[in-house]
Structure 1
């Protein structure tokens, strides 16, 4: 009886994989993301090895992510107007070109910091269009609406599984043969996601007649997202978490080398521990059967993330640092994924691309500003106090949401009733709450 129950729970947790197109996407993207995380670790270690500058670590992250802040909203209009499948084929091919160029420069030992900055900016432009389009495209791959939330939850699990595996492998490869091989593996990994996109069987794309111009569509998207307090609250939480919290990834090479007295493998272990915590968070959300209480969960996990960063900033023991990275990864992904799921659940289909581009802008666009600020401040007061300050700001920034949570919850209630989610919470929204639901529902 117990085994049957466990089997049914397991099949329920992975039910979105019953859709052929989503399964292809899941496998292809999973392989590619391992390569992406390997490149990210290799690049941050390379920059710190070449320059010994915390400021330049922040500058590279800034150049790779600021395009999302500037172009994200326009990318959302594109995601609502054009064939998302074709847009993704183009963005993935261009990403492969970027990684190949970077790998050649590193392997031939001709890499300079300006190459890294320029190629990071190029990838940032690609990602601005890729992220908004991919977020909206996933919904097209799942036949049953009840499985959408589960697909989002599995997406986050896949992302964080890659985040666990990629950096750990990268740390070992960098120590053995250098950064270039990690970047080359990433370039090759794009073949998996391009292949999965080409194998999909999709309905013929029908362009929706757009009477409105880009600026009008953009204005509509902003008014819709920021005019409805629950959507606005979710986007603001993601933006603040990204602004104050994400700089910790920029500072990790300094902690790995200078504070914990380790090498590239230490950096890989730290990022892997954060990935393990994030994967645990994604699975924790995927097995939830109700959206009830997710608002409280968001408040708890945001506080957990902030205090884990504060504690990590003063740790000089590797084992303790790894445990604290695990808690920070858990807190960060549960907060982020819950916001994503809630947004995907309550947003109107015809505005999904634009709203998700604002989510991507909040997630990817504020991080570079935080990275530059953290890198600059760390040059003066040190990385430990800088990261402690970031953690404190994360913890404080959730207070307004905590105060307004009951009011936001009442606003979302009619939407859930209209979608039939409230009476069928145990089935329909199980995974939605699973990965990205917390804030919105409030």
Structure 2
């Protein structure tokens, strides 16, 4: 036990807790998810040549969290989180099989892709609070920041590998095999989840009505200025900056016309930047995280403008890398702040609001920016959105300073 504690924190978490096994299974499943996401985006772009329809696809994948998220947060605090994940991932694997079958028999079109993607997104929204809250059951409070960063690295490593594999498969094989691969990898994740045995979480009072528990979570966030401010900053950053990832097919064709590998390269570059960002993050006091997030989303906004205005492949890849690094560090910092400052019995509910914003804001932004991109061009639409972000940050800055003072006193 003593020798385990002498290991670097990353190795200690990965080898000394069940979090390492969880990361392996989650990473494999996410590789498949990103492979399928790239394939669906490419199909929709080929069928429509429209940024707006890419936004609709992103909305189908990400917006269900707006309706499901608050209920899922109560479920994560009330019922077995591991069992919820096992069942949801099994259904997700079956949906990937269904998409492969429909594509094979020629019955997968624009409507079917959007509907099935929406169903997949609904399942992801339903289990996200339980999945994030499980991290607290696998590591101690002092290791939460490192665990959140490692989880983000897993997500972004999958975002690097998945698109690259999907791009190669779409060039050399029938696109149907992308959906088959996702089903296979998700099935492996189900098996791994079934072998985990987690410490019981601190439960909220089971006697409280379901809706009362839900409103308690909202009330806690509203009554905590630092929490609602950092979540508001993430809402703005996700809508204007993170949404660029969802519009990547429309961005890629400007630099790599008609080439699916170009889409994989830009998406992979963003993921590479995200991995480097996650691996290099250190421990930060909660008060510092409040300031960090505004700077990080600002850097991401600069990268988004450069990405949508250049047609030089090297510059586009560099901008995508900076975009991935800045947005990932912003998301890690926000989730770490939420995990560390929220009482354990409210974890699922507060994390459901975090997940609602993290998944919903990029979809909302992709719809809005995609709508304007079809009319004035994606470069002009992005620049306009970034100007709005800058104005909002200037208005929020005094409130953030005030909230930071209260966090510093409580820390």
Q: Same fold (TM over 0.5)?
A: yes
Q: Contact (CA 8 Å) 2:9, 2:143: kept in 1 or not?
A: no
Q: What is the rounded CA distance, in whole Å, between the counterparts of 1:288 and 1:205 in structure 2?
A: 24
2:332 is the alignment partner of 1:334 = no
Q: Which of 207, 224, 236 lines up with 1:240 in the alignment?
A: 236
TM normalised by structure 1 equals 0.87
Instruction: Give the direction of change, closer, same or farther, for the CA distance of 1:255–1:342 in structure 2 (3 Å limit).
Output: same
Q: What is the rounded CA distance, in whole Å, between the counterparts of 1:396 and 1:280 in structure 2?
A: 30
Residue in 2 that maps onto 1:421:
none
Q: What is the rounded CA distance, in whole Å, between the counterparts of 2:156 and 2:7 in structure 1?
A: 18
Residue in 2 that maps onto 1:404:
399
Q: What is the rounded CA distance, in whole Å, between the counterparts of 1:168 and 1:401 in structure 2?
A: 39
Residue in 2 that maps onto 1:309:
304
RMSD: 2.2
Q: Which of 363, 369, 378 lines up with 1:374 in the alignment?
A: 369
Q: Which of 67, 83, 86 lines up with 1:70 in the alignment?
A: 67
2:274 is the alignment partner of 1:278 = yes
Q: Which of 93, 100, 103 lines up with 2:97 in the alignment?
A: 100
Q: What is the rounded CA distance, in whole Å, between the counterparts of 2:368 and 2:105 in structure 1?
A: 33
* Partner SS state of residue 18, structure 2: helix
2:153 is the alignment partner of 1:171 = no
Q: Contact (CA 8 Å) 2:247, 2:370: kept in 1 or not?
A: yes
Residues 182-209 of structure 1: CA distance to partner in whole angstroms, max 9, x if unpaired?
1211111112221221111234689654
1:179, distance to aligned residue in structure 2 (A): 2.4
1:12, distance to aligned residue in structure 2 (A): 2.5
Instruction: Give the direction of change, closer, same or farther, for the CA distance of 1:395–1:16 in structure 2 (3 Å limit).
Output: farther
1:298, distance to aligned residue in structure 2 (A): 2.2
2:190 is the alignment partner of 1:230 = no
1:138, distance to aligned residue in structure 2 (A): 1.4
Paired positions, count: 408
1:407, distance to aligned residue in structure 2 (A): 1.9
Q: Which of 11, 14, 24 lines up with 1:14 in the alignment?
A: 11
Write out aligned runs for 1:197-236 (5 A): 197-203=193-199, 209-236=205-232
* Partner SS state of residue 304, structure 2: helix
Instruction: Give the direction of change, closer, same or farther, for the CA distance of 1:317–1:415 in structure 2 (3 Å limit).
Output: same
Instruction: Give the direction of change, closer, same or farther, for the CA distance of 1:94–1:315 in structure 2 (3 Å limit).
Output: same
TM normalised by structure 2 equals 0.93
Q: Contact (CA 8 Å) 2:276, 2:325: kept in 1 or not?
A: yes
Q: Contact (CA 8 Å) 1:55, 1:375: kept in 2 or not?
A: yes
Q: Which of 319, 322, 326 lines up with 1:324 in the alignment?
A: 319
1:318, distance to aligned residue in structure 2 (A): 0.9
Write out aligned runs for 1:239-258 (5 A): 239-258=235-254
Residue in 2 that maps onto 1:139:
136
Residues 71-122 of structure 1: CA distance to partner in whole angstroms, max 9, x if unpaired?
1111101111001011111111111111111122223333111111110111
Q: Which of 31, 36, 51 lines up with 2:33 in the alignment?
A: 36
Q: What is the rounded CA distance, in whole Å, between the counterparts of 1:396 and 1:159 in structure 2?
A: 31
Q: Contact (CA 8 Å) 2:90, 2:190: kept in 1 or not?
A: yes
Q: What is the rounded CA distance, in whole Å, between the counterparts of 1:91 and 1:11 in structure 2?
A: 34
Residue in 2 that maps onto 1:413:
408
Instruction: Give the direction of change, closer, same or farther, for the CA distance of 1:329–1:156 in structure 2 (3 Å limit).
Output: same
Gaps of 5+ in 2: none
Residue in 1 that maps onto 2:76:
79
